[in-house]
Structure 1
Amino acid sequence: MILDKMKTERLSIRRFHLLDLQDLFEMTSNEQVVKSTGLRSPLDLNTTKIRLESWCHDPEVWAIEYCVEFKVVGWIMLKKTTCDDPELGYMLAQSYWGMGIASEACRALLSFARESSFKRVIAKTDRTNHASINVLKKLGMSENSDSNNESEGLLFELFI
């Protein structure tokens, strides 16, 4: 099952376009935004452009557009990364933190996962990223007891 676009009350979860470069760069160049993600350090404009070009053709990564401003304020993925179960991951621009956007986008994508043939969805987060930990718990995800390796962060899972 392929998802091209999904709407929520405030968001459009959609495929990336090359015109999203400036909005994406606003996130990937911000040290506060990337420090708790797999990136760990900010990206320059060219590296962000290469990533965007890849995501434009990736059916497992979407832009999060805030419909009030018609602005891409984040990205979200439901992608098989390290195991057979898809990983839920996301990043939001710092000025949109604390608005419930991550929870809203993740709920929508988990709804899509339920309609698909997935049995379990996982999510990984840095141990110090308390906001993401709270989002994952709010979504009904449970911390996996096997995630006690300090360097790997926390692993959450949701059986669908």
Structure 2
Amino acid sequence: MIEAITTERLVLRRARIEDVGPMHRIMSDPEAMRYWSTLPHDSVQVTADWVRSMIDAPEGGDDFIVTLDGECIGKLGCWKLPEVGFIFERAHWGRGYASEALTAFLAHRRRTGDHEILADTDPRNEASMTLLKRHGFVETGRASKTWLIGGVWHDSVFWRRELRDGA
């Protein structure tokens, strides 16, 4: 298993326990977590458990902490293949980091022989849907009431990206 992916500005690396603090900053932020599959984390312990789940990922996972100049700014990868997920600290939105990390991750998964990567977004999450489209993901369907988060149902838009040589 590859330990890190390096891009022009970023390093995508495996999670470490010291990522709890920086990831808690992100995952306790209601705006950053607006379209995530859980409520914002209400304690460092919740984030610690989440980071441990990345460290002890099940067989078939390929998840990375995204760092900039050695500092954790988010997460991108597949907790369980082939579905990709990503979240970044708000201070780093709009600077192309998610796009750069996703480009590198897709190239990495192509080298492993994967044929496709999937994604699931909230239909209100225009930024993520735009990012996925820009990276060749195509919408494959929609469904209502797919996620029950904090007692509120949320819908899904499903995406697929074929991975093949040159794509």
Same fold, TM exceeding 0.5?
Answer: yes
Q: How does 1:9-158 map to 2 (within 5 A)?
A: 9-58=8-57, 60-67=62-69, 70-80=70-80, 86-144=82-140, 147-152=141-146, 153-158=156-161
Q: CA deviation at 1:19?
A: 1.3
Distance 1:134 1:40 in 2: 23
* Aligned residue identity for 1:98: G
My pick for the range that moved more, 129-138 or 53-62, is 53-62
Aligned-pair identity (%): 23
Query: Does the Cα contact within 8 Å between 1:61 and 1:78 map onto a contact in 2?
Result: yes
Give distance in 1, aligned partners of 2:161 and 2:22: 30
| Structure with the higher fraction of residues in helix conformation | 1
**Secondary structure class of the residue paired with 1:32:** coil
Q: Residues 78, 151 of structure 1: CA spacing in aligned structure 2 closer, same or farther, 3 A cutoff?
A: same
Moved over 6 A (4+): none
Q: Within 2, Cα distance between the matches of 1:40 and 1:138?
A: 28
Distance in 1 (alpha carbons) for counterparts of 2:79 and 2:54: 12
The letter for the 1-side match of 2:35 is: S
Cα separation, 2, equivalents of 1:142 and 1:122 = 9
Structure 1 residue 117 displacement after superposition? 2.0
> Which stretch has the larger CA shift, 110-119 or 35-44?
35-44
Q: Which runs of 5+ in 1 are unaligned?
A: none
Which of the pair is proportionally richer in strand? Answer: 2
CA RMSD, aligned part only?
1.4
Post-superposition CA distance 1:89-138 (Å, at most 9, x none): 11101111111111111111100111112111101111111000010011
TM-score under structure 2 length normalisation: 0.85
Q: How many residues align?
A: 151
How big is the shift at 1:3? 2.1
